[in-house]
Structure 1
Amino acid sequence: MVSGHDPLALAEWQRIRRYAVPQRMITECAAARQRGDQRAAWTAGRIDVTDAFAELTTHLAPDLLRWHLPRALGGYTTLAVDQRYVLVPAGAVIDPETEVPVLDALSSMFGSQRLSLGTARWGELNPAEVSLLPAHLWDARHADELRTAIGGSAERAPGFTADGVPLPAEALGRGNDPASRAERVRLAPTLSAAFAEAGFVIGDEPGVPWPGYPDETTMRSVDPTRLADHVRRFARQFGMNTWMLWLGYPAYLRCDVDGDTVRVTPQTAGGHRYSATRGLPRLLPDLVRYQVDLDLIRAGRITPAEVHPIVRAALFPGVPGSAVVPAPVTGLASAVDRASVAGPASAVVRDSAAGLASAVVPASVAGPASAVVGDSVVGGSVPSGVWGSVAAGSVSAGASDLVAEPVPVVVVGAVRVRCRGEWHEIGVRLGRLDLVTHTDTERQRERALSAFGGTVSGCFAAEQAWHGAPGRLPRRLRAHREDLWQLMIHGGTRTVLELLDAGMDPHLRDSRGRTLMHRIRSFDHSRLLPRLLAEGLDINARDKEGSTPLYLAVVHQWPAGLIIALTEAGADPHLPNQDDMSVIDHCDEILNYHEDLDPDFEAAVAHLRKRSA
C-alpha cells in the first residue's frame, strides 16, 4: 500500500519521480507553452503527434501527462506497457461519433519511452479495453482540478496545509471540509468503511466483510474519493452508468451511478458474470490510487519543490508559483545512504562550459538544503555526490527550437576502495574510472594477470566488475551507473549523444553487463548506431549471460528495421550464449513453430538468414 507505510514502494516511486520526467523536459515544455508553440512542446515531451490530433487539441501538456501515466514498477521506472488511453477533454459530452485523442502505450518496458498520439471515434473503441485520462492529468488549464478529484478543498490537499506542510497525525480528519473527509477515508479501519466515508452506497450486502483480493496491495492503494470523482465525471461525459475497477482476475468492483449516488459492489468475474462484464467500461487502479506525491512528501522522501510545478500548484495552492521546478536531487539512487556519504548540505555552482560542477558551495552560503536551477541556487537538497551538468550539444532532429537546457549528471568524485590493505581512491567521471592510486606499470601488470586467468582484487577487481565481469561494485559506483542509465532511458537519444559528446564512456555497461548496443532498442538506432560503431563499440559484445545485441533483438522481437541494421553492421547470428543458443538456433528451434509473427519481423529474420548463409 502506497501510504507512507511501505518503504519499498515509496523508494520505487522516489526513483520514478527523480528520473521519469526529466527537469529539462519540464523546462522546455513550459517555455514552449509560454510561447504558444505546441509542436515544440510535443517535441520536448518526446511525443509523436498525428496531424489529426494536432487539429483536435492544442492544450496537451506532455510533461504533465508523463508525470501522471502509470509505471511498470517491479524495479522499473519506465511506463506501463500494453495500455491504451483516451484523453478525455474537460466537460465534453462524448458520443459514438466523437473524435477522441488516443495514446497507445509501449509494448515493452525496455523500449523507447517516446509516446505516440492519434485519434479515433469513440464508437470504434472497446470501452473495456481502454483507460480514460481526465483532463486534469494532461491539460494544464485544468490541472487544478486534481486537488478536488482527490478530495481536497479550495484551500488544501488532504493531509497537508495549503503551503505543503504535512499535518500532524492528531489533526487528520478533524474538520468538516472535504479535505478532512478524505483524511477520514484514508484512516478508515476497513475497505467498506473507507468507501462508505467516501460517499459510496455499499451494494448487495452492506454488512458482509469484503472478500480478499488477489493483489491486496493494489486494492489498498485505491483512493475511494478519487474513484468516486472519476466514476461520476465519466458517467456524465459518456452517458454510461456502470463502470468496473479491475483488481486482478477475477476480482473487480462494480460501480453503478444513479444521479449523484454511486453504488459499489465487490464481485468476481467467474461464470455468467464474466460474459456480462466483458463490454463494461473499465477503470485502471493506477489512475485512481492515492496521490503518490503526497505520500512521498509525508515520508520525507521528496519536498514540494521536487513535485512537477503544475502538480505542485494544484496540490498546494499556498506555495508561491515558479516557472521551473528544482532539479530532483534527493539521492543518487534509492539504494544510496545519503547520510553516510553526503556530509553537510551543499549546493552546486554550475560550470556550463566544462559540463561538470566546478565548485561546491557550503550550506552556510547557499542556504539550507539547496539545489541547482540554471545558474541560481534554490530550494532542494544535495545528496552524496553533487549534481553537475552536460552542456547541450547534439540536438535531435526536429528539435532545433528546444531550449538549450543542460543534462544533469551526478558527479561522484572519488570512490574509496579497499586495496592491498589500504584505502585507495578511484576517480569517476561520466562512466569512466581512473585508478589514480596505481601507476601505469601496475595497471599493465594486473591486466596481464587477469588476461592469463589470474585473480585480481581491490581497485582492479572493481574496474573489472565495472566493465561487466562478475564481482561486487562499491555502492557509489553502482549508484553512478544507475544514474547514467536512468538519465539516458528517460532523456532519449538526444541525451545519449550529448553525454557521449561530453566524454561519457561509450563502453558503459549496466548491472547485467549490457552495453548501449544491447539497449539500443530504447533509442533511435538510425542516429545512435553509427555513433556507437564510430566509438569502437563491439556489435557482438556479450552481456553476463553471453547474449549479443542481435540475440536479444531476435528473441524479444525488436523492430524489424533495427534487426536489419544490426545485421548490416556485422552482427554475427552464429555466436552462442551461455546456454549454447545462437540466433540461428533460436530461429530454427523456436521461431519456426510460431504462427503469429509480425510480417515485418519475419522479413527481418529472413534477411538475417540470407546474410548469414
Structure 2
Amino acid sequence: MAHHFANEIPAHLLIWQRVREYAVPSSMIETATVRRAAGDWAGACAAARVDVALDLRAVRDRHGTDFAHLLRTDLRRLAPDLLRWHMPRTAPDGRLRPGLTLSLARYPNSGATPVQLVVRTPPARADAGQRMSLSLWEGPGTGDVPAHHPHPHPDRRFRLDLHRHLWDATRSGELAHRSLPGAAPPGPPPDMVKSAWAQGRWAAEAELLLRADGRPRGAFTVRLAARNRVVLELVAPDDSHAPTFRPLREALPAQEVAALPLLPEAAARALPDRELLRAGLITAERLHPLVAAALAPSGTGTGPGPGVAASRPRPPEPDDPHRVECRGEVHRIALRDQVLTAVDHDPAQLRREELLVALGGPALPCLRAIDAVHRDPEALPAVRERLGHGDVAGALDVVEGLLGRAAVLRDGPLRDALESAAARRVDHGLFSSGLVAVHPAAGTGRGLNASGTGGVLGASGTGGVLGASGTGGVLGASGTGRAERPFRPRLDRHTPLALRHKRDSRARPRTGLTVSR
C-alpha cells in the first residue's frame, strides 16, 4: 500500500516557525514599542536594528514643510519591529531577503517620479546583524541613491505602500480582513497555484494595485516562479459588483507582459502567521502583539503598550541539569560564582586534576563534560540561529546561561560561531559606510570601488583595507586608479566558496522559501 503524507507539515511552514522564534525577539519588540509609544521613532528604529539614513531638516528644505509633515507622521506611525516581522525572507535559513529596496510609502510631488520612503537590506555578503536602513528615494539619477547598494531602486515585486497594515501600527488591525483567503473565482486555478497562494484575494488586491496606477480595470501579472508568470484580467459587470479575474484570452508578447502591473508578493501569497496558527505550529502568545490582536483578538497579546511582549514566554533559566557518571558515582555540573564547575568535587582536587591534564594526563569525566560544553554545547544550534538573525544579545544570554558570565571560551564550534559573527559584522560596517562597494572577489581583477579611486584607502590614502597580498588595498590589476567598470570574475580555485555556489545555482538570489520565489 502506498504511503500518504496528507498530514505532513510543509517545509516552508517549518522555516517560518523558526523565523517567528528567532528573527524578532521579545526584547526587541518590548524596547521598540516603549520608544514608539513615547514618540521616539528614531529610538524605536534603533531598537529594531533599522538605520535611519535621512535628515528631516534637509527634507524640509528640499521639499517643503507640508512634505516633511507627511513624512514625520508616517515615521511616528512606523512600527519597525512589525516591519521586520513581515519582511520578505529566503530559504533555507529564513533570513532577510538580501539586496532589496522595498517601498513603504509614496508621496506625490511636482516631478514625474513620486518620492518614496524605502527600506533597504544589505547584500548577502554584508548581512551580519540583519540590519536594515530607512531612507528616501527621489527617483533615478538623484544624489541620494547609494552607489554601493546592488539594487538601490524600489522593487515593484516587494512593495508595502499598498499594505500599510504590515508596518503602520495605527492600521495593523486591517490585517484581519486583508489576510483572509477569500473565495477563489470559478474555474480551474492557474498552473502551479497551490495553497500557499492567496488566490481568493487576488481580485481585490489587483483592484487596489490598478487604482494606484490610475487604471480602473485591465490586465496584471502574478509571479509564480522565477520564469513563470500568469497573466490575468480584472473584470466586473459594472462598478457596483465585486471584481473578479480570469486568464487573459489573448497571449501577449513578453515585452508587454513585463510592462503590466505586477501583484506584490504581500498580496499574492497567504499570510504565514495564519497558516502557522491553523497548523498548530505556533500559538497566539508567540505572535507579534499587533499581529495577535488582529488574528486572535481573544488572545493575550491584545494591543500595543509598554508590556505588550511580556506575554511571549522566555526561555527557561538553566538549573543544575548536567549530571555525569564519574568514578562510579553520579556527579552534578552547575553554575557556581558565574562559572560552570563540578560541584561534587573539592576545589583543591579540581586544581590538581587540571594540572594533571595540562601535563598530558587523563581528565576526570566531570572535567571532560565541562570542556565539551564549552566547545560544543547542546544549545549551539539555538546560538547559531540567534546569531544568524542578528540577535547577538540573545545568543550571549544563552551562552552565559550555559557557561556563566566568567567563562573563558575554548577552541571549538562555539567559539568559531561567535568569532565568525564578529568578523561578518565588520563586513557589514564596511559595506554600510560605502568602503567596499563590490564583492571582494571582484578585486582579483579590474574591479574598483564606486568612486573609481583605486581601492579602499585609509585616512592617509596609502593602504587602507589591504588585499590578500597586503600591498595596496582593493586595487585593480594595474593599480593606477582608473575608473573601470567592475566585471564578473571567472570561476577558479581562488573564487570564494560562497560566490562559487551562488554562481553555480540557476536561481539567484537564494530562493526556495514560499514567500520569496
- TM-score of the aligned structures, taking structure 1 as reference length: 0.55
| 2:220/2:261 contact within 8 Å kept | yes
Range that drifts further, 26-35 or 254-263? 254-263
1:97 matched to 2:97? The reply is no
Residue 23 of structure 2, aligned match among 20, 24, 28: 20
The structure carrying a bigger strand percent of its residues is: 1
Say which SS state the counterpart of residue 95 (structure 2) adopts: strand
* Residue of structure 2 in register with 1:478 after alignment: 378
Residue 100 of structure 2, aligned match among 72, 80, 83: 83
Residue 518 of structure 1, aligned match among 420, 427, 430: 420
* Map 1:488-527 → 2, pairs under 5 A: 490=389, 503=405, 505=407, 507=409, 511=413, 514-521=416-423, 523=425, 525=426
Task: Could you tell me which runs of 5 or more consecutive residues in structure 2 were left unpaired when the two chains were aligned.
Answer: 1-5, 60-67, 142-151, 237-241, 458-462, 472-517
* Map 1:381-400 → 2, pairs under 5 A: 386-387=316-317
1:608 matched to 2:466? The reply is yes
1:65 matched to 2:68? The reply is no
Residue 227 of structure 2, aligned match among 250, 259, 265: 250
1:592 matched to 2:444? The reply is yes
- Quickly say closer, same or farther: Cα 1:557–1:20, change in 2 above 3 A: closer
Say which SS state the counterpart of residue 97 (structure 1) adopts: coil
- TM-score of the aligned structures, taking structure 2 as reference length: 0.64
Say which SS state the counterpart of residue 519 (structure 1) adopts: helix
Count residues with an aligned counterpart: 413
* Map 1:397-408 → 2, pairs under 5 A: none
Structure 1 distance, partners of 2:49, 2:453, is: 25
Structure 2 distance, partners of 1:85, 1:463, is: 47
* Residue of structure 1 in register with 2:484 after alignment: none
| 1:127/1:281 contact within 8 Å kept | no
* Residue of structure 2 in register with 1:358 after alignment: none
Residue 51 of structure 1, aligned match among 52, 55, 62: 55
* Map 1:272-421 → 2, pairs under 5 A: 273-285=253-265, 288-319=268-299, 321-322=302-303, 323=305, 373=310, 386-387=316-317, 411=318, 413-417=320-324
| 1:113/1:522 contact within 8 Å kept | no
Q: How big is the shift at 1:81?
A: 1.3
* Residue of structure 2 in register with 1:337 after alignment: none
| 1:198/1:224 contact within 8 Å kept | yes
| 2:25/2:391 contact within 8 Å kept | no
Residue 222 of structure 1, aligned match among 191, 197, 201: 197
Q: How big is the shift at 1:6?
A: 1.4
Say which SS state the counterpart of residue 25 (structure 1) adopts: helix
Provide Cα deviations, 1:414-434, integer angstroms capped at 9, x if missing partner.
334566776554436999743
**Aligned CA-pair RMSD:** 4.8
* Residue of structure 2 in register with 1:146 after alignment: 175
Q: How big is the shift at 1:504?
A: 6.7
Code of the residue aligned with 1:29 in structure 2: it is: A
- Quickly say closer, same or farther: Cα 1:136–1:293, change in 2 above 3 A: same
| 1:309/1:325 contact within 8 Å kept | no
* Residue of structure 2 in register with 1:117 after alignment: 134
Provide Cα deviations, 1:215-267, integer angstroms capped at 9, x if missing partner.
x8xx5411223444432222222325543332222112334334653425499
* Residue of structure 2 in register with 1:40 after alignment: 43
* Residue of structure 1 in register with 2:499 after alignment: none
Provide Cα deviations, 1:43-71, integer angstroms capped at 9, x if missing partner.
22222221257752332111111111122
Provide Cα deviations, 1:327-361, integer angstroms capped at 9, x if missing partner.
6xxxxxxxxxxxxxxxxxxxxxxxxxxxxxxxxxx
Say which SS state the counterpart of residue 119 (structure 1) adopts: strand
Structure 2 distance, partners of 1:264, 1:431, is: 66
Task: Could you tell me which runs of 5 or more consecutive residues in structure 1 were left unpaired when the two chains were aligned.
Answer: 152-181, 186-196, 328-372, 374-378, 388-410, 526-552, 565-585
Code of the residue aligned with 2:210 in structure 1: it is: A
Structure 2 distance, partners of 1:430, 1:81, is: 43
- Quickly say closer, same or farther: Cα 1:21–1:380, change in 2 above 3 A: closer
Structure 2 distance, partners of 1:44, 1:16, is: 18
* Residue of structure 1 in register with 2:351 after alignment: 440
Structure 2 distance, partners of 1:289, 1:421, is: 59
Structure 1 distance, partners of 2:410, 2:246, is: 52
Say which SS state the counterpart of residue 113 (structure 1) adopts: coil
Q: How big is the shift at 1:507?
A: 3.7
Structure 2 distance, partners of 1:419, 1:561, is: 54
Provide Cα deviations, 1:137-174, integer angstroms capped at 9, x if missing partner.
011111111111122xxxxxxxxxxxxxxxxxxxxxxx
Structure 1 distance, partners of 2:337, 2:273, is: 30
Percent same amino acid at aligned positions? 25
Structure 1 distance, partners of 2:466, 2:432, is: 10
- Quickly say closer, same or farther: Cα 1:592–1:44, change in 2 above 3 A: closer
Q: How big is the shift at 1:516?
A: 3.1
Residue 184 of structure 2, aligned match among 195, 198, 223: 198
Q: How big is the shift at 1:310?
A: 1.1
Q: How big is the shift at 1:18?
A: 1.9
